[in-house]
C-alpha cells in the first residue's frame, strides 16, 4: 500500500543536476501527477531516485512511497504540496532577510491599461524581489542556497554580471559571511557597480560584455580559490524559474480565472525564458512563450541569443521578437504615463513586443515578465525624452 511521506524524510543519494532529471520533471509536469510511487526501505529510496529528484526540483514537499516496490498511484502534484512554496505568509513578517528572499512570494501581477487589441495584459513585477530589486534575486538566491557547502569552503564568490545578478550576489554574500567580487562590463549602467560597492562587495569594471569577461573571472577564481556560481551555464538558473517564477504565474492565473494564452519574456542569460518555456511547454502546452531580444543596439540586461548554446534540455521560446532600444524606451515611457509604473528598459522591450504582436493576438490573457524598475535607468529615459522633444 502506498502512502505519502515528506520528501525531507527520505534519502536518495547524491543530488543530480536539474538537467539530469529534466526528463522525469517534464513527464510529471505533462501528466500533472506522480504516477508511480517511490520504492523505499527504511527511508532510503531504493528505486525511483530520478522521480524523487524531479519532485524535489519541482518544489513538492511530499512524495508517494511504497515499502520495497513501485506502484501505480497517480497522485496530483497539487496534493504533494506543489503550490505551497509560491504562497507566502499572509502578514509578510520574516525573522531574517534570507527568509524574506526565500518565502515572500509570489511577486505581484497587475493588469495594464492600454490598447492591446483582444489581449488582456498582466505585468509580473519582478522588482518586488528585495535584494537587487529584480528577477535576478531568484537565480542568485537559488544558485547560492543550493551550493551552501561549496560556498562555505571557499569564502569568496566571483561572478560576471551586467548588474542585477551581481547586486543580488553581493547582498547574499553579506548574509552568508562571504566576500563577493563582481566583474561588470564597462557598457553596463552605473547602478550595478555602485550598489555592489555600497553592499561591501568589490566591483571590477572592464571589458565589453559578460561573454568576453567570463574566461578571466573563471581564471581569477581558480587562482584565488573562489567559487563562481556562473549564471551563464548553471542549470539552477533556469531551474529557479521552473520552480518559482513560472509556477507563480500559473498559480496567479488560476486564482484570477485567467484564460492564459501567452507569456512574454526578455532574454539575457536566457535563464527565465528557458525555465518558463520548460514549465509551460510541458504543463500547459497551449500557452505560447515569446522571447524578446534587442534588434541591434544595447538594451540593459538583455542580449541577442546564440541559440546554439541554449540550456541543455530546456525548450526555446516558441517565437523570438526583436525590439530596438528606442522602441523599448518608448513603450516603458508610455506605460509610465498610462499606468503610473516605470518599468526597466528590458520590461519596456517586453511591452514593445506585445504591442507589436497585439493586432494578431487571440482573445485572452497574456503575462509580461517585467525584470526590474525604471529608477535604475533614468538617464536613458531622460535622454530619450530629450531626443523626442
**Which residue's CB is nearer to ligand PLP, number 106 or number 344?**
344
HEC readout, 253-308 = HHHCCCCEEEEEEECCCCHHHHHHHHHHHHHCCCCEEEEEEECCCCECCECCCCHH
- Residues in contact with ligand PLP, counted by CB under 6 A, come to a total of 21
**Which residue's CB is nearer to ligand PLP, number 106 or number 268?**
268
Q: Is 268 in the site for ligand PLP (CB under 6 A)?
A: yes
Among 37, 39, 252, 346, binds ligand PLP (CB under 6 A): 346
Residue 213, all three cell numbers: 569577461
Q: Is 373 in the site for ligand PLP (CB under 6 A)?
A: no
Could you tell me the smallest distance in angstroms from the CB atom of residue 241 to ligand PLP? 7
Please state the φ and ψ torsions of residue 301, each to the nearest 5 degrees: 95, -20
Residue whose Cβ sits closest to ligand PLP: 301
Question: Residue 66: which H helix or E strand, with range?
Answer: strand 62-67
**Which residue's CB is nearer to ligand PLP, number 52 or number 280?**
280
| Contact set for ligand PLP, span 248-267 (CB under 6 A) | 266-267
Could you tell me the smallest distance in angstroms from the CB atom of residue 92 to ligand PLP? 24
Q: Is 231 left (phi over 0), alpha (psi -120 to 50) or beta?
A: alpha
Could you tell me the smallest distance in angstroms from the CB atom of residue 53 to ligand PLP? 23
Query: Please, which residues bridge with residue 179 across strands?
Result: 156
Could you tell me the smallest distance in angstroms from the CB atom of residue 370 to ligand PLP? 9
Question: Residue 109: which H helix or E strand, with range?
Answer: strand 109-111
**Which residue's CB is nearer to ligand PLP, number 48 or number 301?**
301
Q: Is the backbone peptide bond immediately before 106 cis, with ω within 30 degrees of 0?
A: yes
Q: Is 134 in the site for ligand PLP (CB under 6 A)?
A: yes
List, in order, residues 6 or more apart from 233 with CB less than 8 Å away: none
Among 236, 253, 302, 328, binds ligand PLP (CB under 6 A): 302
Could you tell me the smallest distance in angstroms from the CB atom of residue 185 to ligand PLP? 12
Crossing angle of helices 49-57 and 22-31, in 10° steps, is 70
Q: Is 271 in the site for ligand PLP (CB under 6 A)?
A: yes
**Which residue's CB is nearer to ligand PLP, number 134 or number 234?**
134
In whole angstroms, give the CA distance from residue 379 to residue 157. 31
**Which residue's CB is nearer to ligand PLP, number 55 or number 370?**
370
Closest to 57 (Cα-Cα) out of 14, 16, 12: 16
| Contact set for ligand PLP, span 153-212 (CB under 6 A) | 162-165
Q: Is 269 in the site for ligand PLP (CB under 6 A)?
A: yes
| DSSP, res 241 | I
The answer to whether 182 touches 203, Cβ cutoff 8 Å, is yes
Closest to 192 (Cα-Cα) out of 216, 215, 213: 213
**Which residue's CB is nearer to ligand PLP, number 39 or number 266?**
266
β-pairing, 179-184 with 202-205?
A: parallel
User: Chain centroid to CA 60: how far?
Assistant: 18
Among 136, 261, 283, 355, binds ligand PLP (CB under 6 A): 136
**Which residue's CB is nearer to ligand PLP, number 272 or number 281?**
272
Among 243, 261, 272, 355, binds ligand PLP (CB under 6 A): 272
Using CB under 6 A as the criterion, which residues of the chain lie in contact with ligand PLP when the complex forms?
134, 136, 162-165, 266-273, 300-302, 344, 346, 371-372
Amino acid at each position: 500500500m502506498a502512502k505519502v511521506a515528506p520528501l525531507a524524510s527520505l534519502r536518495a543519494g547524491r543530488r543530480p543536476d536539474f538537467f539530469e532529471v529534466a526528463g522525469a520533471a517534464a513527464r510529471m509536469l505533462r501528466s500533472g501527477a506522480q504516477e508511480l510511487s517511490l520504492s523505499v526501505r527504511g527511508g532510503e529510496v531504493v528505486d525511483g531516485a530520478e522521480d524523487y529528484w524531479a519532485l524535489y526540483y519541482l518544489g513538492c514537499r511530499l512524495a508517494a512511497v511504497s515499502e520495497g516496490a513501485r506502484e501505480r498511484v497517480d497522485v496530483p502534484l497539487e496534493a504533494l504540496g506543489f503550490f505551497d512554496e509560491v504562497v507566502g505568509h499572509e502578514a509578510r513578517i520574516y525573522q531574517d532577510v534570507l527568509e524574506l528572499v526565500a518565502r515572500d512570494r509570489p511577486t505581484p501581477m497587475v493588469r495594464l491599461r492600454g490598447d492591446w487589441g483582444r489581449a488582456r495584459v498582466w505585468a509580473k513585477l519582478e522588482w518586488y524581489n528585495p535584494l537587487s530589486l529584480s528577477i535576478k534575486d531568484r537565480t542568485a538566491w537559488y544558485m547560492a542556497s543550493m551550493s551552501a557547502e561549496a560556498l562555505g569552503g571557499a569564502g569568496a564568490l566571483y561572478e560576471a554580471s551586467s548588474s542585477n545578478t551581481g547586486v543580488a550576489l553581493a547582498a547574499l554574500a553579506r548574509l552568508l559571511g562571504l566576500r563577493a567580487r563582481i566583474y561588470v562590463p564597462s557598457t553596463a549602467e552605473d547602478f550595478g557597480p555602485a550598489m555592489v560597492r555600497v553592499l561591501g562587495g568589490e566591483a571590477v569594471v572592464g571589458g565589453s560584455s559578460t561573454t568576453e569577461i567570463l574566461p578571466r573571472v573563471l581564471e581569477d577564481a581558480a587562482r584565488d580559490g573562489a567559487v563562481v556560481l556562473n549564471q551563464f551555464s548553471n542549470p539552477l538558473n533556469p531551474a529557479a524559474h521552473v520552480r518559482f517564477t513560472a509556477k507563480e504565474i500559473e498559480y496567479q492565473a488560476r486564482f484570477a480565472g485567467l484564460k492564459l494564452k501567452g507569456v512574454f519574456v526578455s532574454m539575457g542569460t536566457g535563464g527565465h525564458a528557458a525555465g518558463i518555456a520548460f514549465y509551460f511547454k510541458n504543463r500547459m502546452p497551449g500557452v505560447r512563450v515569446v522571447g524578446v531580444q534587442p534588434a541591434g543596439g544595447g538594451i540593459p540586461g538583455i542580449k541577442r541569443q546564440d541559440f546554439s548554446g541554449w540550456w541543455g534540455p530546456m525548450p526555446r521560446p516558441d517565437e523570438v521578437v526583436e525590439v530596438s532600444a528606442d522602441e523599448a524606451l518608448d513603450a516603458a515611457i508610455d506605460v509610465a504615463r498610462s499606468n503610473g509604473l516605470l518599468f526597466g528598459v528590458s520590461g519596456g522591450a517586453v511591452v514593445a513586443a506585445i504591442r507589436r504582436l497585439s493586432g494578431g493576438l487571440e482573445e485572452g490573457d497574456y503575462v509580461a515578465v517585467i525584470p526590474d524598475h525604471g529608477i535604475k535607468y533614468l538617464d536613458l529615459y531622460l535622454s530619450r525624452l530629450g531626443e523626442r522633444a
